[in-house]
Amino acid sequence: MYQTVIGLEVHAELSLDTKIFCGCSTKFGQEPNSQTCPICLGLPGALPVLNEEAVKYIIKIGLALGCRILPEARFDRKNYYYPDLPKNYQISQNYLPFAVDGYLELPPSQKKGTPIKVGIDNVHLEEDTGKNIHSESGGREGYSLVDFNRAGIPLVEIVTRPDMHSLEDTESFMVSLRNILLYLGVSNCKMEEGALRFEASVSIRPDEASSLNARVEIKNLNSFKSVLRSLQYEIERQRRLLSGGEIVSGETRLWDEKEGKTLTMRVKESSPDYRYFPEPDLPPVVIKPQWIKTIRAAMPELPAERLRRFVKKYHLPPYDAIILTSSKSLADFYEEVVEGFPDGKHVSNWIMGEVLEKLKERKIGIEESSLTPASLSELLNLIKCGTISGKMAREVFAEMFATGKGAGEIVKERGLAQISDTRKIKETIDLILKKNPAAISDFQTGKKKVIAYLTGQVMKETKGAANPQLVNELLQEALQQQ
Amino acid sequence: MKIEKKEVEHIARLARLKLNEEEKERFGRQLGQILKYIEKLNELNTEGVEPALHIVPLQNIMRKDEVKDSLPVKDALANAPATKGKYFKVPRIIE
Ligand SMILES: [Zn+2]
């Protein structure tokens, strides 16, 4: 039984208006090279000036991950030549990052009883690189194109300790971290826009007692799915090597999304020699204790706290609370519905059942659906006061989900309102009883089962619109009076 | 003092320079001379002296997160040896 050891480096673009060292806009999807200036193009003589908001953001992230904020942070140059890097070095932090020694506690899972803490080695700030596009043709004809709009976008890198031991841990970590960043409002985490990217490292050993085999780093991971797929592939590859008596060599491998495998990079490229040295163009940042105090005081409620609050305030089982707080928008949605229909568990049942089922079917998040919290609480109220039955509610819900219309509006349009008018039901009952004299004598001789049959007849007569509970009560009454 | 050929090749590769045999020999010699000259600094007693990372005593020089005008694309591309549309054009990176 092999033991797996996994670590992650997570890059998140900070959602700020301007780049980290210049006033160029960070807006996504603009015309190539339209958001550049002498600083982010690395033209001679241009001097970078740090975006103060980026410092506030990284302190927020550091605090949320239980890190120590260092009293002084500095920037360093990471030197390498690649056409996505206009200066031939990237401004990053190697020696004195903003935050160190934190942890993220993974939410308890169904399978594992004890919560897992994943250590955070450090959280540092750097500039993003440009984007390359490669031509189809190779050889002499081939070329690559460069867009520097992304160069200089503020990037935070979160480096974990190798504390994850399974794909499940890794997924849970990524989901939790993304959640924290979203709750803090520091990154939009849109993976399809490259705002959240990963590098993983993985090594295995025969058992916990033996020493670790060489570590393999995997680059080019742009989604949760590619992280998990590449790790799965790499763990199997390493196991196969070891069980065949071969050696795993420490190297950097590239994930090929299309082929679904990791590929070896040329040895020279995989042994980085970045020759870090202090960035002379940027003076140190001395973190005043007052800043930390102010930021700490303004910290929003984080996922772990919200989970605890949901259990306590809404009397939810932990399982419900974990699912509901697993996404900020879902948790916000839940709380808004509860405002209009104050029965926490009932609302949770609906969201965890009907709502999540529909979202899964359509493969979207709650924020992308046209369902509003107000219309869901309206629906629940309509059920509660007997206007519609549970069965009708499902139909109404399907239409609400598809069209974004309000529950009451749909009920009205489709004439779905349940007949709760006692007089009307009584009339129908009289009619049915007249047609079924045999059923009455059956009832009188103790065959109580006929009530179900008669209820069915009344429902049929009203085309399902009568309130079945009311029908049942009134029937009993009517039969006893016969 | 002479820098070994292997090291010259490594440094040249990091700087994406293609050197011929004669150049490797010559640069190895010159780099050695430069390092030897710099080594003079080691003769100084620096005990108790803090490393000076910056020569000006500045700290916390920051700017507000406010958008400023960027260069027109035409100007951004003006110095590039090759362009295509609104992109910089470089030799193909991936083989
Ligand atoms: Zn710029």
Reduced to 3 states (helix: H, G, I; strand: E, B; else coil), residue A153 is: coil
Cα–Cα distance list, A154 to A21, A24, A69 (Å)? 8, 11, 19
- Helix, strand, coil distribution of chain A in percent, nearest 5: 45, 20, 40
- Examine residue B10 and state whether it is found in any structural domain, yes or no: yes
Out of A141-155, A203-217, A294-308, B50-64, pick the least confident.
A203-217
Mean pLDDT of A190-196: 93
Task: Please compute the mean of the pLDDT values over residues B43-65 and round it to a whole number.
Answer: 88
Least confident of A135-149, A261-275, A388-402: A261-275
The pLDDT tens digits of the residues spanning A57-98 come to 999 999 999 999 999 999 999 998 888 999 999 999 999 999
Phi–psi pair at A261, nearest 5 degrees: -140, 165
| Per-residue confidence band for A419, with pLDDT thresholds at 50, 70 and 90 | low
Which residue type does A369 have?
Answer: S
* Beta-strand relationship, A117-127 and B83-84: unpaired
CB atoms within 10 A of CB A364: 11
The DSSP bridge pattern shows strands A50-51 and B62-63 to be: parallel
At residue A110, the pLDDT reads: 57
pLDDT grade, residue A181 (50/70/90)?
A: very high
> Which residues in chain B are closer than 8 Å to A37, comparing Cβ atoms?
68, 70-71
Q: Work out the average pLDDT over A134-150.
A: 84
Of A418, A427, A404, A433, the closest CA to residue A465 belongs to A418
Residues A153 and A233 in one domain: yes
Distance A154 CA to ligand 1 centre (A): 12
Q: Is residue B25 part of a domain?
A: yes
Q: Which residue has the higher pLDDT, A21 or A458?
A: A21
Residue with tokens 């020999």: B25
Cα B95 to middle of ligand 1, angstroms: 31
Considering the domain architecture, whether residues A343 and A204 belong to the same structural domain is answered as no
The domain that contains A454 carries what CATH number? Answer: 1.10.10.410
Say whether both A405 and A442 belong to one domain. Answer: no
Comparing A123-137, A165-179, B47-61, the range with the smallest average pLDDT is B47-61
CB nearest A145 (choices: B13, B79, B87): B87
Closest chain A residue by Cα to residue B16? A81
pLDDT band at A316 (very low <50, low <70, confident <90, very high): very high
Average pLDDT on B18-42 reads 93
In terms of domains, do A447 and A374 share one?
Answer: no
Give pLDDT, residue B91.
Answer: 87
- Measured in degrees and rounded to the nearest 5, phi and psi for residue A116 equal -105, 135
* Vertex A371: Cα angle to A368 and A375 (nearest 5): 155
Residue where a domain terminates, one of A276, A294, A312: A294
For residue B16, being part of any structural domain is answered with yes
Distance CA A264, CA A233 (A): 13
How confident is the model at residue A138, as a pLDDT? 66
Q: Are residues A103 and A24 in the same domain?
A: yes
Cα dihedral A424→A430→A436→A439 (10° resolution): 100
Residue of B14, B55, B65 best to disrupt the A interface, most CBs of A under 10 A:
B65
CB pair distance less than 8 Å for A284 and B54: yes
Residues A93, A219 share a domain: yes
Q: Are both A225 and A367 inside the same structural domain?
A: no
Does some domain include residue B68?
no
Number of domains composing chain A: 3
Dihedral sign for Cα A158, A163, A167, A170, please: negative
Over residues A196-208, the pLDDT tens digits come to: 999 999 999 887 7
Residues A410 and A428 occupy one common structural domain: no
A207-226, pLDDT tens digit by residue?
Answer: 777 777 788 999 889 999 99
A11 pLDDT exceeds 90? yes
Q: Which residue has the tokens 């004299």?
A: A437
**Same domain flag for A280 and A319:** no
How many structural domains comprise chain B?
1
* Mean pLDDT confidence for A142-152: 94
Residues A409 and A433 in one domain: no
Instruction: Round the average pLDDT of chain A to a whole number and report it.
Output: 90
pLDDT of residue A111: 60
Structure tokens, A304: 């772990």
Instruction: Give the pLDDT confidence score for residue A154 in this predicted structure.
Output: 98
Cα gap A234→A242, rounded to integer Å = 12
Task: State the count of interchain CB pairs (< 8 A) between A and B.
Answer: 133
Domain boundary among A414, A439, A468: A414
Q: Tell me what pLDDT residue A267 has.
A: 55
Q: Which two tokens stand for residue A108?
A: 């308890």
The answer as to whether B21 is a domain residue is yes
What CATH number should be reported for the domain holding residue B24?
1.10.20
**DSSP character string of A108-146:** P-SS-SSPPEEEEEEEEEEEPP-EEEE-S--GGG-EEEE
pLDDT of B22 above 90: yes
List of E strands, A138-208: 143-147, 154-160, 196-205
Residue A386: C-alpha distances to residues A254, A273, A311, A321, A392 (Å): 60, 72, 29, 28, 11
State residue A405's pLDDT score: 87
- A212 or A317, which is more confident? A317
The pLDDT assigned to A270 comes to 46
Residues A276 and A328 reside in one and the same domain: no
A422-459 confidence digits (pLDDT tens) = 777 788 888 888 888 888 888 888 887 888 888 888 88
Interface of B with A (CB under 8 A): 10, 13-16, 53-54, 56, 58-71, 73, 76-77, 79, 82, 84-95
Minimum-distance CB partner of A49 among B61, B84, B91: B61
| Domain membership of residue A324 as a residue range | 301-414
Give the range of the structural domain holding residue B9, as residue numbers without chain letter: 5-42
Report ipTM (2 d.p.).
0.90
Q: Which one of A144, A268, A269, A277 makes the best mutation probe of the B interface by having the most chain B beta carbons within 10 Å?
A: A144
Strand A89-92 to A196-205 pairing? unpaired
Q: What is the pLDDT of residues A334-387, one digit of tens each?
A: 999 999 999 999 999 999 999 999 999 999 989 889 899 999 999 999 888 777
Shortest distance between the Cα of B22 and any Cα of chain A, in A, equals 23
Instruction: Give residue-wise pLDDT tens across range A279-308.
Output: 999 999 999 999 999 999 999 999 989 999
